[in-house]
Chains A and B, each alone.
Chain A
Amino acid sequence: MRPFTYERARTPAEAAAAAKRHAGAKFVAGGTNLLDLMKLEIETPTHLIDVNGLGLDTLETTPEGGLRIGALVRNTDLAADARVRRDYGVLARALLAGASGQLRNMATTAGNLLQRTRCPYFYDTNMPCNKRVPGDGCAAIGGFTRQHAVIGASDACIATHPSDMAVALRVLDATVETIGPDGATRRIPLADFHRLPGDQPQVETALAAGELITAVTLPRPVGGAHFYRKVRDRASFAFALVSVAAIVQRDGSGRVALGGVAHKPWRVEAAESEMTKGARAVVARLLAGAKPTTENAFKLKLVERVLAAVLAEAKGARG
């Protein structure tokens, strides 16, 4: 871990301003991914701005009837919130499927969104990786790719995004609220928040340098039956091979987003018009153009099977 200086910020504006003062600064909240990566010198901030004291740890109902989740709300608390459990079950389920009890107690809403890939080649600094060193090449391509992306990847990067929470937020049409170093705030739809790797896989989100997430807002509850199905090798404390977040309405319409298949939570709204026709039809459009490797081609089948089971269960519940 490289040496860094450390400060505790007291307000969001102060935090953002501090980021402006220090090139190479990073915000730290839960620290569960940042410290992990700093120990390996994959992340090398020269200055850490501790944002835990910013008070962004509350949940409030929005005037529109939605929910505003403070950036620092811990994953445990978010999943335990009665409103989340009642109205946004997919989110509670996704959070609870992630990590461990200890990690969920530390991890924050904003930090979860900013998790970096778990690609083992990204994690091994002896291996070339375009995320770590742009232009260095990608050791994962042609290597061990069972966990990697089947869609939306590029010649520069085939990593997946590891978050469960983000997949649920995507299906819920969440919006990310930020404050910039100059104090300006903006709202970024989750759909635009995470990027595909393209030829700049090191740029993972729409955040500008020094921009701080202050909250994530959810629109009014959309009702329906909520599902988050995470498939993994061991029963718990493992990253998803694939995950399926779905909200299915009484008429069979609904929404679906996938985890474990791409560099970002994967949702194709147009595919959702096929929901009443069944999983195969949805997946045909959702994963159209997928380019799996022999090691991860099973993900396509798996997604279809899981979605089929979800649709069957939703139908069964409707009677």
Chain B
Amino acid sequence: MKFDTPATTNPIDQLKVVGQPFDRIDGPAKTTGTARYAYESHDVAPDAVYGCIVGAAIAKGRILSIDETDAKAAPGVLGIVTAENAGKLGQGDFNTAKLLGGPEVDHYHQAIAVVVAGTFEQARAAAQRLRVRYEPSRGRFDLAAAKDTAVKPKPGAGGPSDSSVGDFATAFAAAPVQFDATYTTPDQTHAMMEPHATVAKWDGNQLTMWTSNQMIAWTVGDVAKTLGIPKEDVRLISPYIGGGFGGKLFLRADALLAALAARAVRRPVKVALPRPLVINNTTHRPATIQRIRLGATRDGKLTAIAHESWSGDQPDGEPETAVSQTRLLYAGEHRLTAMRLAVLDLPEGNSMRAPGEAPGMMALEIAIDEMAEKLGLDPVEFRIRNDTQVVPDNPVKADSDDPQAKGEQTHVPHPPFSQRQLVECLRRGAEKFGWARRNPKPAQARDGRWLVGTGVAAAFRNNLLMKSAARVRLDQRGIVTVETDMTDIGTGSYTIIAQTAAEMMGVSLDEVVVNLGDSRFPVSCGSGGQFGAANSTSGVFAACVKLREAVARKLGVEAGEATFAHGRVFAGGRSGTLAELAGPAGLTGEDGIEYGDLDKRYQQSTFGAHFVEVGVDAVTGETRVRRMLAVCAAGRILNPKSARSQVIGAMTMGVGAALMEDLVVDKRKGFFVNHDLAGYEVPVHADIPHQEVIFLEETDPIASPMKAKGVGELGICGVGAAVANAIHHATGIRIRDYPITLDKLLERLPLPTDSG
């Protein structure tokens, strides 16, 4: 189904099932521990043995030798795979650094070997017996030091690295009120609870992997490419994924080395990354340095906006696209954005929940708060004054290598937003949060030992369109079974897909079975970039349209005239049950959604507003969040219960980003020092108060037939800045370097009494 004109009325609009807060259909499995994650596939590979990955002990250099004598002699050892004996390996499209290093080492804890043994205990012990000699070489590990070497990166998915509208320099110089500040965000790690894990099994040339992966088709492709085998010989199965957040978008070392090891020892092999290896072995959100300059009139109209960002990555890597939202969020005639990329020899930087916008909004939304303060304007009002209903800066995106096909014909310099309710989000949130009672002056409120403050930030995240297909089968019991390689990483895919199929086919939710995460199913959009929900359900919608046609044909009526309800079809006085129409042979509909140029004619984005109240301990500077509210406008909400969970989860991660999350780089040795869950602190229960989420009424017929957009990342975009702004309001102290830990506040907090 090609979606190239805005949606009109369709069966989803009935909202009998879609839009209702159903409990997740995978809930009983998850809460009883019967949902089976990758490493738990005992029955399919009862003879599986264990692989333990060895990570490089240096950040950059060469392996001189690997002495396997002791490891091979260790009890139970069945084989050792290194780059020397792995055979020729290709490089996956989605990998920057090699997944199996050697002799060159590209980053710390890059996998250099997998040791296979009969039991986990044997494999782990034997892996420690591998003796590796290295020749370290100099590496570049310090973003601040490498900043001046950063270059203009290649245009990526987020558009060109630079953009310019009007004449920023002149307008900024002429602005009556100017603001210029630099912010930093640190490297961060996904820290999903399930470490990357895979069971790999070969049957002849056929490779099957039970793995934990967000993007089945991408990864099938990269497995095939890396191993040099046909895609058809690779099957991935990933029904449950213990969190991903962008860290499991790709083929990673667990899967590749499980496959190599299984081939080497001729038995299925299971590999999970040990937690202390995950952080440096896999990808992370890169640190940024961001300079923001704002020029405004005295009455609070932005006239000049510049946002520049510096980040680093492995050679041939990509920048953290932290300026992308600044092209879209606020009005302002004269504008400039730029991204620069330095080469660093740290582990590979890549996507983490809302790449680009998450760190970009952390900086931009402090800057907006600072400018409002400078102008003496309420920060909610300042944002409202600078709203725009068209895109202020829409650089031409290169979507083809052919210079003639740069989309010039469809390029609209200032496209309208398909929907944009930022102002409503801010107003509604302000009202709900009691913003009017706020004393604009910072450092005024106290509650016992706590200095109390509130902060606001806009939320913004783009809606991404991806092709997505599904197959829907109807059987003679009237059960509808959906098959798609879509994944559920905690996002609620199972449930919203079931809701979509139930609505389309006129059956109840418990008459739908959803099978996900198997590469034998039609290729979906996968999970990432908050594109999963809207695109995958649109694909299911398309497949259901096909199935409805098949059912109508059986009844001998036109699909367009048929009504599907209560497990029956009605049209023109005729009626039949789905079960009998399906008959013993059953009926199948298969299709996918693909998109026209609606996303070029309209900008599709999601909006929100975050309101946060914090207490800062007047003595210690410890910040604790007391209240949180997010108001979101993100198209049709397919399931308010699971969508709310997506938002609160993102808000929680945003609190972590604001207050504690910091992968610390040892700039001498070139690695993330705090590489476990004790050293890298993420929020715990005690850090998070009750969280409130309001979804504004919205349908977006331009976005998809579901009239839905993504929401899973909107919640993290801006929330960190809202925390930072609340800390400023509580204390009068402005911190521009995340995370805002107590040591950054301490010097400027008032002295406690009785210091003597």
With an 8 Å Cβ cutoff, the count of chain A residues facing the other chain is: 47
With a 10 A CB-CB cut-off, give which of B58, B660, B664, B666 has the most chain A CB atoms.
B666
Given contacts A40-B276, A305-B619, 7 further A-B contacts (CB under 8 A): A39-B124, A120-B675, A126-B57, A126-B58, A298-B743, A302-B742, A309-B752
Query: Complex: how many Å from CA A59 to CA B622?
Result: 36
| In-complex Cβ contact of A305 among B660, B684, B685, B755 (8 A) | B755
- The yes or no answer to B372 lying at the interface (CB within 8 A) is no
The residues of B with any CB-CB pair to A shorter than 8 Å are: 57-58, 75, 121, 124-125, 128, 276, 449, 619-622, 624, 659-660, 664, 666, 668-669, 673-676, 678-679, 681-687, 739, 741-743, 746-747, 749, 751-756
- What are the interface flags for A35-48 relative to B under an 8 Å C-beta threshold, 1 for contact and 0 otherwise? 00001110000000
In the complex, which residues of chain B have a beta carbon less than 8 angstroms from the beta carbon of A10? Answer: none
For B749, give the chain A residue with the smallest CB separation.
A305
For B665, give the chain A residue with the smallest CB separation.
A144
- Contacts A123-B676, A235-B686, A238-B681; is A279 near B747 (CB within 8 Å)? no
In the complex, which residues of chain A have a beta carbon less than 8 angstroms from the beta carbon of B751? Answer: 305, 308
- The yes or no answer to A121 lying at the interface (CB within 8 A) is yes
B56 → chain A, closest Cβ, in Å? 9
Secondary structure of the A contact surface, majority rule: loop
Query: Complex: how many Å from CA A146 to CA B659?
Result: 15
- The yes or no answer to A220 lying at the interface (CB within 8 A) is no
With a 10 A CB-CB cut-off, give which of A139, A304, A309, A312 has the most chain B CB atoms.
A309
- The yes or no answer to A289 lying at the interface (CB within 8 A) is no
In the complex, which residues of chain B have a beta carbon less than 8 angstroms from the beta carbon of A309? Answer: 449, 619, 752, 754
In the complex, which residues of chain A have a beta carbon less than 8 angstroms from the beta carbon of B620? Answer: 229, 231, 302, 305-306
Q: Are A236 and B756 in contact (CB under 8 A)?
A: no
Q: Can you report 13 A-B residue pairs in the complex whose CB atoms are below 8 A from each other?
A: A1-B124, A2-B125, A3-B125, A124-B673, A144-B666, A229-B620, A231-B622, A298-B747, A301-B746, A305-B620, A306-B620, A312-B753, A312-B754
- Contacts A233-B681, A236-B685, A308-B619; is A144 near B755 (CB within 8 Å)? no
B743 → chain A, closest Cβ, in Å? 4
B739 → chain A, closest Cβ, in Å? 8
Q: Are A308 and B756 in contact (CB under 8 A)?
A: yes
B685 → chain A, closest Cβ, in Å? 7
Q: Are B678 and A239 in contact (CB under 8 A)?
A: yes
| In-complex Cβ contact of A236 among B276, B684, B753 (8 A) | B684
- The yes or no answer to A237 lying at the interface (CB within 8 A) is yes
Q: Are A235 and B752 in contact (CB under 8 A)?
A: no
Q: Are A1 and B121 in contact (CB under 8 A)?
A: yes
- What are the interface flags for A271-298 relative to B under an 8 Å C-beta threshold, 1 for contact and 0 otherwise? 0001001111110000000000000001
The residues of A with any CB-CB pair to B shorter than 8 Å are: 1-3, 39-41, 118, 120-121, 123-124, 126-127, 139, 142-144, 146, 229, 231-239, 241, 274, 277-282, 298, 301-302, 304-306, 308-309, 311-312, 315
In the complex, which residues of chain A have a beta carbon less than 8 angstroms from the beta carbon of B121? Answer: 1
| In-complex Cβ contact of B687 among A127, A146, A234 (8 A) | A234
Query: Complex: how many Å from CA A39 to CA B128?
Result: 10
- Contacts A144-B666, A234-B659, A234-B660; is A123 near B276 (CB within 8 Å)? yes
In the complex, which residues of chain B have a beta carbon less than 8 angstroms from the beta carbon of A312? Answer: 752-754
For B682, give the chain A residue with the smallest CB separation.
A234
With a 10 A CB-CB cut-off, give which of A120, A139, A298 has the most chain B CB atoms.
A120
Query: Complex: how many Å from CA A196 to CA B276?
Result: 28
In the complex, which residues of chain B have a beta carbon less than 8 angstroms from the beta carbon of A146? Answer: 664, 743
A267 → chain B, closest Cβ, in Å? 19
B627 → chain A, closest Cβ, in Å? 15
For A44, give the chain B residue with the smallest CB separation.
B128
Q: Are A278 and B742 in contact (CB under 8 A)?
A: no
In the complex, which residues of chain A have a beta carbon less than 8 angstroms from the beta carbon of B674? Answer: 120, 144
In the complex, which residues of chain B have a beta carbon less than 8 angstroms from the beta carbon of A236? Answer: 684-687
Q: Are A127 and B669 in contact (CB under 8 A)?
A: yes
Q: Are B746 and A302 in contact (CB under 8 A)?
A: yes
In the complex, which residues of chain A have a beta carbon less than 8 angstroms from the beta carbon of B752? Answer: 305, 308-309, 312
With a 10 A CB-CB cut-off, give which of A235, A306, A315 has the most chain B CB atoms.
A235
Q: Are A278 and B755 in contact (CB under 8 A)?
A: yes
Q: Are A279 and B276 in contact (CB under 8 A)?
A: no
The 10 A-B pairs of least Cβ separation, nearest first, read A278-B756, A235-B686, A126-B57, A298-B743, A312-B754, A236-B686, A280-B756, A309-B619, A308-B755, A308-B752
- Contacts A120-B673, A127-B669; is A280 near B755 (CB within 8 Å)? yes
Query: Complex: how many Å from CA A298 to CA B745?
Result: 10
In the complex, which residues of chain A have a beta carbon less than 8 angstroms from the beta carbon of B742? Answer: 231, 233, 241, 298, 302
- Contacts A143-B669, A315-B754; is A124 near B746 (CB within 8 Å)? no
In the complex, which residues of chain B have a beta carbon less than 8 angstroms from the beta carbon of A239? Answer: 678
Query: Complex: how many Å from CA A301 to CA B619?
Result: 10
